[in-house]
Amino acid sequence: MTPLLCALALLATDAWVLVRDEQRVTMSGDLSNLRTAQKLMKKFGPKFLWFRHSGKEYVVREGDVLKRAEAVTEGDGETDAREAQLDQTDQELEHQQQKLDREGDGSTDGRSDRRRAARRKRERGEVT
């Protein structure tokens, strides 16, 4: 295991935010950590790794470390493509359900919501 993977594994229990630019971040933690990173972006600009360990906060801006952190946290293209496809299917199903709801009497008994949730789980490979 590379030193960076070891470091990220240790950080898995701590909060961290990898800031690529204003729109793209990868993080582990809660929204307060994201807000901290956004404030730091005003000071440091994009491309840094912020993390908290043992109650102390750190910022890493060194180029090689950031390149390696980006490589470790990038998703693979196949997974990203499948997620995009599932999102599109969800949108289409939602549109169809809205159309059916408009055509019906407008009332639902909750069964359609449960069926839709179960269908989404099946599409994502989750056990229902």
pLDDT, tens only, 104-120 = 755 555 667 778 888 88
Provide mean pLDDT across the span 74-84.
Answer: 68
Q: How confident is the model at residue 80 (pLDDT cuts 50, 70, 90)?
A: low
Global confidence as pTM: 0.48
- Kindly list the distances between the CA atom of residue 118 and the CA atoms of 32, 56, 79, 86, 122, in Å, as whole numbers in the listed order: 32, 43, 21, 14, 6
pLDDT of residue 26: 84
- pLDDT, average across residues 14-32: 85
What stretches of 38-110 adopt beta strand conformation (E)? 48-53, 56-60
62 and 69 Cβ atoms separated by less than 8 Å: no
